[in-house]
Amino acid sequence: MKVAIIGASGQTGLKLVRESLRRGHQVVAVCRTSSADRLKEFSDNGGCTVITAPVVSDLATLTQALAGCDAGVAVLISVRRLRATELVRSLAKAAAANGVKRLVFTAGEVTAAPEKDETFTLRQRIMLLVFTLMTWFTPYSMTDMIEASVLVRQQPDWDWTIVRAPTLREEPGVGYRLCEINEVTAKHVLSREDYATCLLDSLENPEHYRRALTVVSAGG
């Protein structure tokens, strides 16, 4: 499979690139121009094409990146210069231009709107409130992330999957399990290695089309 990884130079993105190449996928890695050095080991080994832009939501960049791809994985984040909603809007146009329908997105525990049949726990509702208030005094925008998850679900042609994770850890993988969103407690964590594995397993699994999943560490 040829996969575009958008946000490839981040902590999860790098693990996604490594695991994709290990699985034999061709990888197009999209990242900020200023972060391209972090992908050098992969581009030097020939398995990965790196495409850079000052802001990765740039339409021309995404259209170029998705050319010939079967699927895309996007690390969603909403900061002042990179709005998740803009990334999803540009991806919608770029994917349509290239006939790409399979898209997988990262999300935090409460940074994607719940499905119609899901409810957040009291702790998750408090997290949502705190994160929303933080929008006023940090560069991060929870409201934009949630709006982006709504936009993803609205794309009629996409076989999308959103994979929500608890606190991520920079530690070796121990395996993962999928669970209900309201099973997640403050004790649940996930290694980024396992997150990357789960995102790519989902990418390859048609049963996960048009679903928001929740993943935690197998041991938790």
Ligand X SMILES: NC(=O)c1ccc[n+]([C@@H]2O[C@H](COP(=O)([O-])OP(=O)(O)OC[C@H]3O[C@@H](n4cnc5c(N)ncnc54)[C@H](OP(=O)(O)O)[C@@H]3O)[C@@H](O)[C@H]2O)c1
Q: For binding to ligand X (CB under 6 A), which residues are involved?
A: 7, 9-13, 31-32, 35, 75-77, 79, 81-82, 106-108, 111, 165, 167-168, 192
CB of 35 to ligand X, least distance (A): 3
Query: In the 8-state DSSP scheme, what is residue 99?
Result: T
CB of 141 to ligand X, least distance (A): 11
SS3 12: helix
Q: How far apart are CA 108 and CA 211, in angstroms?
A: 15
Measure CA 213 to chain center. Answer: 12
- Pair of tokens at residue 76: 């969603």
CB of 171 to ligand X, least distance (A): 12
**Between 96 and 140, CB nearer to ligand X:** 140
Give the relative orientation of helices 142-154 and 122-134 as an angle to the nearest 10 degrees. 110
Nearest residue to ligand X, by Cβ distance, number only: 10
**Between 105 and 158, CB nearer to ligand X:** 105
**Between 56 and 95, CB nearer to ligand X:** 56
**Between 10 and 173, CB nearer to ligand X:** 10
| Nearest C-alpha neighbor of 153 from the set 117, 94, 112 | 112
Contact 218, 176 (CB under 8 A): yes
CB of 87 to ligand X, least distance (A): 10
CB of 82 to ligand X, least distance (A): 4
**Between 99 and 175, CB nearer to ligand X:** 175
- Pair of tokens at residue 21: 């190449």
SS3 103: strand
